[in-house]
A and B are shown apart, each in its own frame.
Chain A
């Protein structure tokens, strides 16, 4: 178990709901769910969720901390916002799912090999370093995340797509050596560092 996780288990010993309300983005909405299941039926990747959103909400209220935070369910969210606009109680479900995924990841107990978790980390690191997406390095890092051999295999599978994009001027083959990020990277990095510090402090993680 990670230190951050142990800290939170001890702090909120009796109430996972309180922990979610305090530490998860939009988590104070969780108690508003009335279990109708419209979110589950509206999700494009619904069949792939081990626990659909309304079940997650009930599990949070029932204190099933480990089952929720180690689940890969939230990582199936495509950010389509269908659940938000259809929820009769107007819960910001998409954001709560993002918040739970982020919190589990921050505590180090999210499913290690989940591809969306891994891709999301690669993506954020990509934009946080230069301020703008470098599509070439983003794709290469994604395809090679399981090592050279599988990277070459995935690279070959994606060759047609990549060449199509290069030919139509929509992918920079020189992206490894030339990429224009923001000019004020120093300010951007300092800003992100400060934002993370404040967020960790607010959540008692610092």
Chain B
């Protein structure tokens, strides 16, 4: 089979020394095992994220995303655009959809893109996909299970799907209320998914963890508490904002609510990297503030 190639939109949080840099490390590691190539979109920009709307408005926000799509269609012609970040995927996909439905918005966006010399490059023909879609649809669970060298036996994992890979678009074949793809991925890696985990699609507060910390931390507390209540030792997620919010505020929540949270929150790709036999460093485990010790132990075994 020919090597699969994708036009890659890493997004701001995946940059070196940014909050999800370890996510990128783990994705690069599994890309070697699964033999796919990520061709970074040259000179990509921010998607506007979930908070950009207030100052940015409608057209400037779509112009930002359209610029990335145009750059991709120009430099990585014919390749599907793939994002690892949930917000990047959502923002790009939303613009792509909106422009395909409104000729007025498309014309306005192209007029703006002209200022960046890209008006003729926007075609809007390529699909916009999240990395988990690539794994599930282009490989499938069975194929993803084949390279497993070190099954993650005995680890109970809560699959925290969160919002933005799940709504409003979601992953094909999954329900909004109880998506199962993380559980299936976890199981494929040999671990034990906590299927009764009832906060798997609860919002972590998103960007409001910055601006409304008290309100958001109530959400985060629910997400962690339920994981513990159902016997999970770890939480796994597909979203950089979910990962960060659920991991880094545990100390603050402990102080405020007298809890004793200390639960690792990893990316699905980190589980995969460890199960595929990569080192802790290659799985980006040194980027976890709450160390994923069970995974580190498995990674260090010969």
**Residues on A close to B: CB < 8 A?**
25, 44-45, 48, 76, 78-82, 84-86, 92, 94, 98-99, 101-102, 105-106, 115-121, 123-125, 127-128, 131-133, 135, 139, 142, 157, 160-161, 164-165, 167-172, 175, 180, 182-184, 187-188, 190-196, 198-199, 202
Whether A120 contacts B52 in the complex (CB less than 8 A), given A160-B251, A191-B113, A196-B60, comes out as yes
A171–B203 CA distance with the chains assembled, in angstroms: 24
Does B58 sit within 8 A of A, measured CB to CB? yes
Taking the nearest CB of chain A, how far is it from the CB of B142, in angstroms? 29
**Does B288 sit at the interface, judged by CB under 8 A?**
yes
Which residues of A lie under 8 Å from residue B58 when comparing CB positions? Answer: 25, 99, 102, 199
A103 to chain B minimum Cβ distance, whole angstroms, is 9
Which B residues between 194 and 219 are near A, CB-CB below 8 angstroms?
A: 202-203, 205-208, 210-212, 215-216, 219
Contact of A169 among B21, B62, B202, B211 (CB under 8 A): B21
Residues of chain A within 8 A of B108, CB atoms compared: 195, 198-199, 202
Could you list which residues of chain B lie within 8 angstroms of chain A, going by C-beta atoms? 12-13, 15-22, 43-46, 48-60, 62-64, 67, 108-109, 111-118, 163-164, 167-168, 170, 176, 202-203, 205-208, 210-212, 215-216, 219, 248-249, 251-252, 286-289
User: Provided the pairs A120-B52, A169-B17, A194-B112 are in contact, do residues A85 and B44 lie with their beta carbons within 8 angstroms?
Assistant: no
Tell me whether B13 and A133 are in contact (CB under 8 A): yes
Please, how many angstroms separate the alpha-carbon atoms of A175 and B62 in the complex? 27
Question: How long is the Cα–Cα vector from A116 to B288 in the complex, in angstroms?
Answer: 28
Q: Contact at A195–B219, with CB atoms within 8 Å?
A: no
- Inter-chain contacts of A194 with B (CB < 8 A): 63, 111-112, 114-115
Contact A172 B111 (CB under 8 A): no
Contact for A164 among B54, B60, B167, B248, CB less than 8 A: B248
Query: Is the beta-carbon distance between B205 and A44 smaller than 8 angstroms?
Result: yes
Q: Given A79-B206, A80-B203, A192-B60, are A120 and B54 neighbors across the interface (CB < 8 Å)?
A: yes
How far apart sit A115 and B219, CA to CA, in the bound complex (Å)?
18
**Bound: A142/B208 CA distance, A:** 12
CB<8 Å pairs between A and B, sample of 6: A48-B215, A81-B168, A125-B55, A167-B289, A170-B18, A190-B116
Interface contact A199-B212, CB-CB below 8 Å = no
Contacts of B51 in A (CB 8 A): 79, 116, 119-120, 123-124
Chain A residues with CB under 8 A of B118: 187
Return the 4 tightest CB-CB contacts between A and B, nearest first: A120-B54, A124-B55, A187-B116, A81-B167
A116-B211 contact, Cβ under 8 Å, with A102-B57, A128-B56, A195-B60? yes
Q: How far is the CA of A193 from the CA of B64 in the complex (A)?
A: 12
The residue that A170 contacts in the complex, of B20, B64, B113, B219, with Cβ under 8 A, is B20
- B72: shortest Cβ distance to chain A, in Å? 14
Contacts of A135 in B (CB 8 A): 12-13, 18-19
Nearest-Cβ distance from residue B42 to partner chain A, whole angstroms: 9
